[in-house]
Homo-oligomer: A and B are copies of this chain.
Amino acid sequence: MSYTMPEFLAHAIAMEREAAERYLELADMMEAHNNLEVAALFRDMVRYSNLHGDSIVERAAGLELPTLKSWQYRWVAPTEVGDEDAFDYTMTPWQALEYARENEGRAMNFYRTVSETSTDPTIKPLAMEFATEEADHMMALDKMISQTQRP
């Protein structure tokens, strides 16, 4: 898994955009549950993801980025959702938080692995910086999970 800078940035941008979209869905859903505290956390994460995505787009200015396939950066489905009942599922706040945490964990592992395996001295510290940001998001989610009733 050795990326060029354009490949790495393309993944990072796609991941931030996907995260922003999913957090927006989760925020809307939590409002439907009338859990405004968890909704507010997800709205904050929409904002962070968009800001981070925008800053990576700026950094990528002038580079030609490769086009990625959707499955190269997608969030996984909620683990509670089986194949058969994936279609009429309503998440509780706890499940939404766990779902977000799982995907943040995937993103963090991705960045960390890139940082550890990259031989490019400009990618290494950048990937580590992104991994640290994801770790911060995971901590915020963990804090909220500890305050949320498990279903």
Q: Which residues of B contact A71 (CB under 8 A)?
A: 75, 77-78, 81, 86, 89
A88–B88 Cα distance when bound, in Å, is 33
Number of interface residues of A (CB under 8 A): 30
**Stretch of A21-29, A35-43, A51-59, A137-145 lying at the B interface:** A21-29
A106–B81 Cα distance when bound, in Å, is 13
Q: Are A83 and B70 in contact (CB under 8 A)?
A: no
- Is the CB of A84 closer than 8 A to any CB of chain B? yes
Choose one: B1, B81, B87, B88; the contact of A85 (CB below 8 Å): B1
A80–B70 Cα distance when bound, in Å, is 15
The 3 A-B pairs with the shortest beta carbon distances in the complex, nearest first, are A71-B77, A25-B69, A72-B87
What is the interface of chain A, defined by CB distance below 8 A to chain B? 1, 3, 7, 11, 21-22, 25, 29, 69-78, 81, 83-89, 106, 109-110, 113
